[in-house]
Amino acid sequence: DIQMTQSPSSLSASVGDRVTITCQASQDINNFLNWYQQKPGKAPKLLIYDASNLETGVPSRFSGSGSGTDFTFTISSLQPEDIATYYCQQYDNLPLTFGGGTKVEIK
């Protein structure tokens, strides 16, 4: 199985801050990586697909980059409604695997 290592596991930032989350795959996954947002008590929501493509309707402050084994997810200006846990997910190989999640809080 491909292991996805996400860091940090949690972070606290101020409104307007730039927030960066990294995801490292245990082997080359090309750009077959998605990012999801899960707000408390809600289902996950797709934000970024194929490592860098913004899902329709998702605010442009969210972005993704990377390929191979190292990926980055960025919120350019943190908003109060961005409080959530963020997960990466690889789909280069079955079984699909998720990162452990990054919980984002407001300072």
Residues found near other proteins in the complex (CB under 8 A): 32, 34, 36, 38, 43-46, 49-50, 55, 87, 89, 91, 94-101
Minimal distance in Å, beta carbon 26 to other proteins?
Answer: 16
> The sheet that has 62-67: what strands, in order across it?
4-7, 19-25, 70-75, 62-67
Taking the complex as a whole, how short is the minimal distance between the CB of residue 49 and other proteins, in angstroms?
5
Q: State how far the Cα of 54 lies from the Cα of 64, in Å rounded to an integer.
A: 8
CB of 79 to other proteins, least distance (A): 22
